[in-house]
């Protein structure tokens, strides 16, 4: 009987007083960078790293959550960076753009 009274008490509250938090496990809140940016920065730092190495590097640094192999694969696939050759070209073109 106590349980029902607690549930009824919370269900009668208006929705405007309810607080929702959005937590992003893919972004770094300190820098405001999402998973795409973190993976692309790791590719720029070491273009010859494998997906496994990139995942290890991303999980080594303190961040909001663990990054899985498939997540790194998805980002690389979205940006057409699955081959090491394409990752090297990406890093080279990005470094040339900074000059």
pLDDT of amino acid 64: 72
pLDDT digits (tens, 9 = 90+) for 12-71: 655 554 444 444 444 555 455 789 999 999 999 999 999 999 999 999 977 778 899 999
Q: What is the pTM of this model?
A: 0.66
Mean pLDDT of the region 75-95? 95
> Could you tell me which residue, 72 or 2, shows the higher pLDDT?
72
Domain residue extents for the chain = 28-97
pLDDT of amino acid 3: 55
How far is C-alpha 30 from the chain's CA centre?
Answer: 13
């Amino acid at each position: 009987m106590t349980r029902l009274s607690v549930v009824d008490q919370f269900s009668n509250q208006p929705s405007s007083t309810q607080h929702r938090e959005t937590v992003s496990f893919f972004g770094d809140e300190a820098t405001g960078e999402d998973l795409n940016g973190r993976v692309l920065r790791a590719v720029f730092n070491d273009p010859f790293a494998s997906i496994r190495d990139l995942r290890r590097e991303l999980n080594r640094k303190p961040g909001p959550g663990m990054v899985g192999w498939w997540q790194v694969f998805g980002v690389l696939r979205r940006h057409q960076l699955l081959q090491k050759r394409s990752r090297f070209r990406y890093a080279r073109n990005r470094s040339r753009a900074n000059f």
